[in-house]
Structure 1
Amino acid sequence: MTSLSTRAVTTDPTSGRQRPPRTFLRLLVMLLIVALLAAALIGFHVFKGNVLKKVTAGIQSQQATVSTTSAIAQAWQPILTAVGSLRASKGTDLSMETGGVIDEIHFDSGRDVAAGTVLLRLRPNDDLAKLEQLKSNADLDEITYKRDLQQLAVQGVAQSTVDTDAGNLRGARAQVTAQQALMREKTLIAPFAGRLGVRQVDVGQYLPAGTIVVTLQALDPMFLDFYVPQQAVGQLSVGQAVSLSVDAYPDKTFIGKVTSMNSKVDASSRMLQIRASFENRDGLLLPGMFATASVASGAPRSLVTIPQTAVAYNPYGSLVYVIQSGRDAQGKRQASVRQQVVTTGETRGDQVSIMKGLNPGDEVVTAGQLKLHNGAFVQIDNSVKLPDDAAPVPQDH
């Protein structure tokens, strides 16, 4: 027991006092260091929290500048929109019925021609000589038939001889007609009035039968074929006005009318083909153009409208920021915003119709939404007017 006690406690040789063991001193130093580190960590978190509070308060105190407008109720005409392709009222790719070498070309590319205009001739070769030979044979058969007919009157020949002569005459005349038809096939004639395309052949070229020579298109009027869903069939009728726009003329609208509707709905797509006709005296519209057609459907109705820039479209829904007026702690007037989920309808130019969520007269934010959150205070600046036109017209620059 005495030896164990001596090892646990040491005596200072100078003062004769007992000293604590080294293990205890080390533990005391370690605890002191841990306490200092914990205090420093707690102090850092308190400091960081104060800084974040100051930054957050500074951000919240900054008021975003926005522009606003009031939702209004106005007459809205439902529009049925569809896309389609333009086609000529008459159009075809001209080709020859028979082959041969091109002898004459009587047209220029891109020219307007009248119906019946001769456009091209193939080399006739011996066609004319064959025709003369066949005509001579027919004339001879006609003389023989007339002579035997006179002989039959005096019983000079049998009836069978006259019948044979008549058959020979008809056969000879048929050969003449066939040769004339063959010769006509070597001449290309415009079947209707229209505008020619780009010539695809040249003089001296051998032209196989069926080879396209040039396209001919009657450009006035023009037809637009488009499709509408079967639900919209009851909203359309023959004679109804149709407006058309094409990318080639973004600032121009062409007005036409529905001329025909298909007699059946496509069983695979449940779409109905509609054909509209448009005047095209200036030739601006060309076959094959992609076009957008708009047809007024139904009676106009009153809807709440706002500029499209006021709506923030999100995966979970569309919303707008509605201005709320109030007063601060000092009694001064101030404006804040409130997020309002809305149900949007059809668009028209710069405007969008609101089916649910807004009332006429509600003031909404049209610019500056990215800086906003629910309940944020704002400053209103409407010095710059944002577009809100039902039928905007591009400006020339």
Structure 2
Amino acid sequence: MPSLPSMLFRRSSFATLLIAGAVSACALLAGCGESAEKTAVAAPPAPPILQGKQLRFPTGHPQLALLNSVPSRPATDIVADLPARLVWNEERTQRIYPAFGGRVVAIGADIGAVVKPGSVLARLASPDFGAAQSDTTKAGVDVNLARKVLARQRELFDAGIIARKDLEQTEADLARAQAESARAAARTTLYGAASSINQQLGLTSGIAGVVVERNINPGQEVRPDQSGPGAPALFVVTDPSSLWVLIDAKEIDIGSMQPGTTFELQVPAYPGETFTGRVIATSDSIDPGTRTIKVRGVIANTDRRLKSEMLVTARVREKMNGVVVPATAIVLERNQHKVFVQVQPGVFEPRMVTMGHMGNREVVLSSGLAAGEQVVADNALLLAREFSVAMEDAGNPTSPQANQAK
């Protein structure tokens, strides 16, 4: 028979086991309750329902916080930013090419030099120009000889020795010699001295300005056939106090870019400053590669802060009719533009619209939307995806959404 102390030890051990089992059971039940609670929290929200053309979200749906809506406003004057580039004013620019072949013997002006009409930029030793000078001299000799012959013929005609037709032929020979002499002299005078044969051809400036480009070196051989499309000029002289602005305008902007229209230039090199220009010409064709219209403007540059080939932005103000919405609200679907209108809280419907003007931040809609309507400005693509999913579910009669819609 077991002793009393051993019996008491067994009872206390059994009680301890019972208590441990109860604690484990409570912990297990608590864990099950927590899991059930977590399962209930992690349950997905009810999806939106498509009713007709409207998509209805349940109250408190988490995606509603992402679909920010803003009211559309009437369009008045909008600002359009167009890419542009500064170039030399070709009405005040001269590109100098050689009229005769030869070798460069001296450079008279370098880049940055201020020149006047007639200033010698470079001098060439040109046998071709020497031949032209020789032709001028020979033409002058022929004129002198023709005059002497005509004087003798008149004496003979007065004496009755020759016929009138011989006199008239001599007069015609003198007229032809004079014409050839004038032509040869004009050619050589245009490029240099016509009174001597020195073969020195001077490249001169025909305008007042600044030498902005030089593509010639001493000892270089130049030829007239080197001048052509794409070939660099030996010298470029321009008046930098006026520059051209080449603007790439979209088709919808052409109405605001007529000759005489003023615009503002924004130059990255001078942040916060604006320069005012004026449109002087508009192209009659559209560039097939970029689908833009070339617009040419002119801008004053008396302080010469602006430089040729600068990339700038031309800002013009355009009068538009319609409503203005953020550019992020536009969704493109099958070559058509649409927006999503919030007709009431949590209810959205698509609306096909017509673009009047597309800017970087805002667009103008000429039709399809009234002023004051709430347009989804953020995550419009997300809403378009929800519409697509809802339409697919509505076409499936076994889906929960289709049953809920019924």
**TM-score, length-scaled by structure 2:** 0.54
Match of 2:221 among 188, 200, 206: 206
**Residues 250 and 292, structure 2, Cα contact 8 Å, conserved in 1:** yes
Deviation at 1:283, TM superposition (A): 1.8
Partners of 1:152 and 1:124 lie apart in 2 by 46
Cα RMSD for the two superposed structures: 5.0
Cα 1:276–1:183 shift into 2, 3 Å: closer
Q: Deviations over 1:330-353 (max 9, x none)?
A: xxxxxxxx9x9xx9x9889xx979
Residues 94 and 207, structure 2, Cα contact 8 Å, conserved in 1: no
Counterpart AA for 1:148: Q
Aligned equivalents of 2:145, 2:156: Cα separation in 1 = 17
DSSP 3-state at the match of 2:215: coil
Indicate how the Cα distance of structure 1 residues 174 and 352 shifts in structure 2: closer, same or farther if over 3 A, else same: closer
- 1:291 maps to 312
* 1:289-328 aligned within 5 A: 289-298=310-319
The one-letter code of the counterpart of 2:80 is L
**Residue of structure 1 aligned with 2:236, choices 215, 233, 237:** 215
Provide the residue aligned with 1:234 in structure 2: 255
Give 1:314 shift: 12
Deviations 1:300-354 (A, max 9, x none): 999899xx9xx99999x999xxxxxxxxxxxxxxxxxx9x9xx9x9889xx9799
More helix by share: 2
Match of 2:158 in 1: 153
Aligned 1:245-394 pairs, distance under 5 A: 245-264=266-285, 271-298=292-319
CA distance in 2, matches of 1:108, 1:357: 63
Deviations 1:158-192 (A, max 9, x none): 33433343343344334434543157443322233
- Asked if the contact 1:77/1:301 (under 8 Å) is kept, the reply is no
Compute the displacement of 1:149 (Å). 2.7
Between Structure 1 and Structure 2, how many residues are aligned?
287
Secondary structure, aligned partner of 1:256: strand
Distance 1:158 1:119 in 2: 56
Larger radius of gyration: 1
**Cα-to-partner distance string for 1:78-130 (whole Å, 9 max, x where unaligned):** 11221122222223432112211123332121223233433223225545555
1:104 match = 106
Q: Provide the secondary structure at the position in 2 that maps to 1:198.
A: strand
Question: Residue type of the partner of 1:80?
Answer: A
Q: Contact 1:89 / 1:223 at 8 angstroms: preserved in 2?
A: yes
Tell me, what secondary structure is at the counterpart of 2:242?
strand
Show structure 2 runs of 5+ residues with no match: 1-22, 42-70, 192-200, 228-232, 333-337, 341-345, 352-356, 373-406
The 1:158–1:285 alpha-carbon spacing in structure 2 relative to 1, beyond 3 Å, is: farther
Q: 2: CA distance between counterparts of 1:82 and 1:190?
A: 36
Deviation of residue 295 (structure 1)?
Answer: 0.8
Q: Is the 8 A contact 2:101 2:126 kept in 1?
A: no
Q: Distance in 2 between matches of 1:134 and 1:292?
A: 58
**What TM-score results when the alignment is normalised by the length of structure 1?**
0.55
In 2: Cα distance, 1:150 partner to 1:45 partner: 143
Q: Deviations over 1:132-179 (max 9, x none)?
A: 344223212222223323432332323343334334334433443454
